[in-house]
Amino acid sequence: MRVLVTGGAGFIGSHVVEALAERGHEPSVFDVRTEAGADVRNPEAVGRALAGIDAVCHQAAMVGLGTGFADAPEYVSRNDLGTAVLLAAMAEAGVRRLVLAGSMVVYGEGRYTCPRHGVVRPGPRAVADLAAGRFEPRCPVCGAEVAPGLVREDAPADPRNVYAATKLAQEHLAAAWARATGGAAVSLRYHNVYGPGMPRDTPYAGVASFFRSALARGESPRVFEDGRQRRDFVHVRDVAAANALALEAGSAPGALTVYNTGSGEPHTVGEMAAELAAAHGGPAPVVTGEYRLGDVRHITADSARLRAELGWRPRVGFRAGMRRFADEPLRAG
């Protein structure tokens, strides 16, 4: 297939391009980093890029939690307007296969179980609780302690910040495009992706990049809250392989199919910082007790559907991946 990879010069997109080429496809990169005017918000440029294309792998996006609500217009412009322009151009060009870079952030807080009330969905954590160091969500019914679990694709969406809201909107746009055109759309809801080529020294990067950047400066990684927040750290090459498989397999026409895309190995942020520091030979992490509004406490998802339906298996385990990542190159933010 000839595949247009938007954001194909970025962190994840560049690995997707490599994975597609290795599997015999013809990836075409569309990215503002490599070509003036190659912006998914530019209808003329997108239309030209789609000529002769069989499928689109849409990685271009503004990512991360950002620096405050002032970023909202830029997130909506790049992520949602950009996706709408791309999908309109695909409808016009007759391109009917799409894989979207989704995100687990659409779930908000993960799945929790209360001993009295079963599965519950805690609301956003109160500022007073965070400031007092009370980081764990409580049962919204009785206030009891709750146990975190794995989230499945059928869980209700509950975006807690601007970035999350735009990622959910992208999925809704993709679903509307599929229904209107008979196209096949897949959203891969990425977990915390890390690996070579992550951007450094930028407030929009992932936590793994923050820690690596600190270690490169000879500083201790600064771990927010108490370091016990749970995440699923998945290697970028495994994510790239999932994109290739999703493009090859396609999906049901006229609908959006969603897959959680994680390693299946939940670890705490503190564990990740300690693994990186030990492998890098740098100073040990410092747990600061700081917090960011919009962050969730625990989010780990069940990726069994992706494994069962597409035969995907992550190849890079947590400790081996962190040991490699500790000295792999980063890119300028």
Per-residue pLDDT of the chain (333 residues; tens, 9 = 90+): 999 999 999 999 999 999 999 999 999 999 998 888 899 999 999 999 999 999 999 999 999 887 789 999 999 999 999 999 999 999 999 999 999 999 999 999 889 999 999 999 998 999 999 999 999 999 999 999 999 999 999 999 999 999 999 999 999 999 999 999 999 999 999 999 999 999 987 777 789 999 999 999 999 999 999 999 999 999 999 999 999 999 999 889 999 999 999 999 999 999 999 999 999 998 999 999 999 988 999 999 899 999 999 999 999 999 999 999 999 888 886
Instruction: DSSP for 202-231, please give it.
Output: -TTS-HHHHHHHHHHTT---EE-TTS--EE
Asked if 157 and 163 count as a contact pair (C-beta separation under 8 A), the reply is: no
Task: Give residue 163's pLDDT.
Answer: 94
CA distance linking residue 43 with residue 2, whole number of Å: 20
User: C-alpha distances in angstroms, 76 versus 7, 45, 69?
Assistant: 16, 20, 11
User: What is the model's pTM?
Assistant: 0.95
Q: Given 107, 163, 259, 291, which residue is catalytic?
A: 163
Active-site residue 204, yes or no?
no
**CATH architecture, range 2-110+151-327:** 3-Layer(aba) Sandwich (3.40)
What pLDDT was estimated at residue 333?
Answer: 66
Q: What is the pLDDT of residue 240?
A: 98
